[in-house]
Amino acid sequence: MNKFKTSQQLIKHLEISTWRENNHEECKNLVQLLKHSLYQDKTNFDILTQNMSEGLAQCEIICDSDGIPYDYRLLSVNKAFETQSGIGADKAVGKTILEIFPDIEKFWIKFYGEVALTQQSNSITKYNHNTKRHYVSRAFSSTKGEFTMLFKDITESIALEAANLEIIKSHEQNSAVLANMQEGFAHCEIICDATGKPTDYKILEVNKAYEVQTGIKSKDIVGKTMLEIFPDIEKSWIEIYGRVALSRKPHSFINFNHNTKRYYQTNAFSPEKGQFALFLRDITDLETKRIELEEASIKAEENDQLKSAFLANMSHEVRTPMNAILGFSSLLENEAVSEEDKKTCLKMIKSSGSRLLTIISDIVDISKIEAKQQKLTLLECNLNHLFDELLSRYSVLNANPNITLEIEKGFPSDTFIIITDETRLNQILSNLIENALKFTIQGKVVFGYTLKGKHLQFYVKDTGIGIKKADQKIVFERFGQVKNKTSAVATGTGLGIPIAKGLIALFKGSIWLESTPKKGSTFYFSIPYKSPDNPIKKGTYKYTILIAEDDDVNFLLLNLWLNLDFNVIRAVNGMEAVQLYETNNSIDLIIMDIRMPEMNGIEATKEIRKTDMLIPIIAHTAYALNEESLLIKKAGCNKVLIKPITRDDLLVVLSEYNITI
């Protein structure tokens, strides 16, 4: 059958063959049967092609004299062809493609020509600039020189795919931008109650910078609400972000997160209603410096005011005794003045000179303290003898018969030896006693001490005019004086209490006040108690340092740095450090490693701080994470040193706590 190009040729051949063989009736029946079968097949084929969604065209290829395809003719088309090409059957069937589209792309003719001549099926996806559509076409050939094309308009699919690629590309670009930006980014969804009031918000997405700046991993917060992450978050944040998400009005502000202990510059906006996005930048360093600068500015202004008041007061304080000295000195030159009066003049000159010397000494002392040039000389001191001497001196100096002085000794025995700077301790107590006598009109002044754990607590009580709560802070400030109408308290430099405070700080102690107006005041101060157990060589006290360090190499290095100038005690774990501290009253400072067996440095510090808030504890650790540094300081360590450090670095830190060579 291959030599017959069409079914009609086959039927014609059968008619002629059977006729020649005089089998006309049989041939006629066979031809009729074939015609019916072919009609059915064509009918079924037409129904199929007319109802299919793909465009279909049966074509014949047209070649030049060299057998090269240069055009093709459309023999039949289906409805989908008309729809997807935009060309009606009446304008297509019987026409060549060049008659329909004179400038058709040559690759179409070449493609269909190869299929028609080789009878090898193939497919192609191309753009037709005449119809301005994209098509995917499959072609096959059952008769050489002819082909059937099936094609489908995929313009919408390609446009959708292109749009999707653009979305993906845009998303990838956005993701790349967010991933590499230095500002933290978070995309969130606001959560409201039944009344529409914002009550919480959910984290949808954060970038890497957000994790870095907050210290929170995305896996721990994405998909969670803020109250799930931080139950005690400031409610003002939810209100602000709620307004942004619902009103779609952007908002910028600076806030402090008490959970992360950081300041953030935050810019919030709403990409769509009910959602908000925020950019945040950690400005803790800048904000801290701003606050410090603001406080320093306020302090400087206060100091200027205090200095102005001080200079005005000094003018009065210096001129008054100088006037007395000059006036009484001139009287001594007058021969008419009696001997008795001359003695009185000499007494006034001596008293005024002593007062002037006190003023000068106060100014020198406060200057040395502020310049950190004041040092302590620690020697043995009989504390009870010191109190006896103070009582004797001020009993004589007290010119007010309505005031009695009393002492209260924590150890009533005649001898109670401590290691201290007796001169400076005497000066502290003298300043407080003189202050009490100045502000007391009648009643008594009592001074004494008690031993509380590892600290000596001193006090000076009076029944004087007292100090209002609002003014109590002033008396500890340089040049600070509480205004009072009583003439007896109008004199003085205002430096006595600040000098005492500065000297107490050298002892690594603290001072505080309790007072009730018209009933009196009590000044307390506490300093570390040092027994005479420590060796004293050549009149110089040798400081004792406890080093809590489990690593032998690290301890060896610290010991070599310190043991020539200090007494060094070692604890190999936190528990031993606590035990040594509790049983040794001579320890002046503790160097605390953090990672130790049995009890770590943080827990050991907490135990020590239960009974002693004054002893300096310096953390020495190899772990430099901000979170751990915060925990260390919160536990009670005064300072955190990150390994490695140098000997000079360590000595500088020790000197901050007056532990010097």
SS (H, E, C) 201-233: EEEEEECHHHHHHHCCCHHHCCCCEHHHHCCCC
In angstroms, rounded to a whole number, what is the distance separating the alpha carbons of residues 406 and 391?
7
Tell me the per-residue pLDDT of 104-140, one tens digit each, with 9 for 90 and over.
Answer: 888 889 999 999 999 988 888 788 888 888 888 888 8
Per-residue pLDDT, averaged over 29-33, amounts to 55
Band of residue 488 on the pLDDT scale cut at 50, 70, 90: very low
Eight-class DSSP state of 401: T
User: What fold is seen in the domain 181-282?
Assistant: Beta-Lactamase (3.30.450)
With a CB cutoff of 8 Å and minimum separation 6, the contacts of 492 are 313, 317, 438, 481
Architecture of domain 7-154: 2-Layer Sandwich (3.30)
pLDDT mean over 355-359:
73
pTM: 0.38
Range ranked top by mean pLDDT from 7-16, 401-410, 613-622: 401-410
Architecture of domain 542-656: 3-Layer(aba) Sandwich (3.40)
CB 610 within 8 A of CB 583: no
Instruction: For 520-536, give one letter per residue: b (16+ CB within 10 A) or e.
Output: bbbbebbbbbbeeebee
pLDDT at 655: 84
3-class SS of residue 57: strand
pLDDT exceeds cutoff 90 at 459:
yes
Average pLDDT estimate for 14-38: 51
Measure the CA–CA gap between 25 and 31, rounded to whole angstroms: 10
Nearest to 425 by CA among 477, 384, 472: 384
**pLDDT at position 30, please?**
52
153 pLDDT tier (thresholds 50, 70, 90): confident
More confident residue, 485 or 271: 271
Of 572 and 251, which is predicted with more confidence? 572
Burial of 230 (0-12, 13-18, 19+ CB in 10 A): middle
The stretch 637-659 carries a mean pLDDT of 85
Q: Tell me the CA distances in angstroms from 303 to 244, 475, 484, 533, one per residue in order.
A: 44, 14, 21, 44
Give CA torsion, residues 229, 230, 234, 236, to 10 deg: 10
> Within 13 A of 131's CA, how many CA atoms are on the CB side?
19
Select the more confidently predicted residue: 265 or 449.
449
In contact, 467 and 513? CB cutoff 8 Å: yes
DSSP 504-539: HHHTT-EEEEEEETTTEEEEEEEEE---TTS-EETT
Over pLDDT 90: what percentage of the chain? 23
Q: Per the structure block, which two tokens stand in for 490?
A: 């109008």
Exposure of 303 by Cβ count < 10 A (0-12 exposed, 13-18 middle, 19+ buried)? middle
Q: Does an H or E element contain 96, and which?
A: none
Tens-place pLDDT, residues 370-416: 777 777 888 888 999 999 988 988 887 788 889 999 999 988 877 88
- Which residue has better confidence, 143 or 324? 143
Domain boundaries, the chain: 7-154, 181-282, 297-367, 375-528, 542-656
In angstroms, rounded to a whole number, what is the distance separating the alpha carbons of residues 620 and 638?
A: 11
Q: Do domains 7-154 and 542-656 have the same CATH topology?
A: no
Buried b (16+ CB within 10 A) or exposed e, 375-402: ebebbebebbebbeebeeebeeebeeee
Distances (CA, A) of 316 to 435, 499, 551, 558, 639: 19, 21, 63, 55, 44
User: In CATH, what number does 297-367 get?
Assistant: 1.10.287.130
Q: Is 445 helix (H, G, I), strand (E, B) or coil?
A: strand
Q: Minimal CA–CA distance to 440: which of 375, 382, 490, 489? A: 489
Cis amide bond preceding 644, omega within 30? yes
Per the document, the length of the chain is 661
Higher-pLDDT residue of 479, 619: 619
**Mean pLDDT in residue range 623-647:** 82
- Residue 76's SS3 state is strand
Task: Check if the beta carbon of residue 206 is closer than 8 Å to that of residue 292.
Answer: no
Contact predicate 14/38, CB 8 Å: no
Residue 482 contacts residue 306 (beta carbons within 8 Å): no
**Angle at 81 (CA atoms; ends 78, 84), nearest 5 degrees:** 150
Contact present, 267 and 252 (Cβ < 8 Å): yes
Six token digits for residue 281:
């930048």
Residue 537 has pLDDT above 50, yes or no: no
Q: What is the CA radius of gyration of the chain?
A: 51
Mean per-residue pLDDT of the chain? 80
Mean pLDDT over 136-147 rounds to 87
Bridge partners of residue 77, in order along the sequence: 57
- Strand runs (DSSP E) across 221-336, as ranges? 251-257, 262-269, 275-282
* Distance from C-alpha of 55 to C-alpha of 49, rounded to nearest angstrom: 8
8 A C-beta contact, residue 179 and residue 191: no
The pair of structure tokens assigned to 233 is 């978050």
- Burial class of 195 by CB neighbour count within 10 A (0 to 12, 13 to 18, 19+): exposed
Cβ(233)–Cβ(227) under 8 Å?
yes
The structural architecture, per CATH, of the domain 375-528 is 2-Layer Sandwich (3.30)
Angle between helices 496-506 and 422-438 (to 10 degrees): 150
- For the chain, report the end-to-end CA distance as a whole number of angstroms: 119
